[in-house]
Structure 1
């Protein structure tokens, strides 16, 4: 009954697109408040064809989370260190799906030798990222007109050894 994380394939696009749209419409409702000018802009590029292109791009790392063959979430990391997507099926919130996706994305970032991740989070989701070590750098307006938190996280090359390695040479945390 665990969560399976695997690389997303273009054939996942239709189901992933439907999940994206449901999550934005339902989970992010406190952010868009049903305003058509924001919601329509946010959903505008969430089509199966666009999602398939994102999943198929060699410069992206797209993953999906499943349990018993049911799609529960998706995430997309760019080689520029941007967490462009991280969405969970509304009925699967607070079940570990988001945490599993985030851990897998951070592992890939380390494999790509990316040392800092960044993302724009709707205000209603910012606390999730903060609980997982992301700093909130303040509010920025997103490309679809929604005010979002600019979040970032510095990654250690080896998360288990990172703190110990810093302490060897000094007592600072940076």
Structure 2
């Protein structure tokens, strides 16, 4: 099912709606990950305030975008740092499987290339990892998030010379993980 939406730059004026989107996506869409455990949920939501979101959207070192429906509803948001980290990528539970997440990631990849970033990385709750893997991210294994929940560390090369299975001049396959950013 395809949902109509536009991708646009996020502004601090979007902070309140974006914060509500983040919180709903985590509380409802990531329920399998926090399993309703109050301590995990509180830690995960702890920095998801309108003031913090406005600060994230205002930072010149971040590329923050939103997916907006024709009626003005925010359906998703994504935040890329200049270090190549996809710090946020969330979609309203009602808008999942409508192309919103893919469109947000595509826009972030375009910005990353404009910034000459060669590799993206992100931490994903396990329930969302398969989505990121379908978008070309490689799962590098388990890690612990800053709020104590197990997450998957994923990365994606934006440099064709570092792709999995890419051959070196001698014909040997490159190693599975390479540090293309240096």
- Whether TM-score is above 0.5 comes out as yes
Secondary structure of 2:101's partner? helix
Structure 1 runs of 4+ aligned residues shifted over 6 Å read none
1:111 aligns to 2:150 (yes or no)? no
CA RMSD of aligned residues (A): 2.0
Shift of 1:67: 1.6
Secondary structure of 2:78's partner? strand
CA deviations over 1:63-119 (Å, ceiling 9, x no partner): 000120221000000001000000001100000000000000011000000000000
**Structure 2 match to 1:30:** 32
**Structure 1 match to 2:53:** 51
1:78 aligns to 2:81 (yes or no)? yes
Secondary structure of 1:76's partner? strand
1:101 aligns to 2:129 (yes or no)? no
| Structure 2 residue corresponding to 1:153, chosen from 152, 156, 166 | 156
Secondary structure of 1:39's partner? helix
| CA distance in structure 2 between the aligned counterparts of 1:50 and 1:110, rounded to whole angstroms | 26
Secondary structure of 2:97's partner? coil
**Structure 1 match to 2:177:** none
| CA distance in structure 2 between the aligned counterparts of 1:173 and 1:96, rounded to whole angstroms | 33
**Structure 1 match to 2:140:** 137
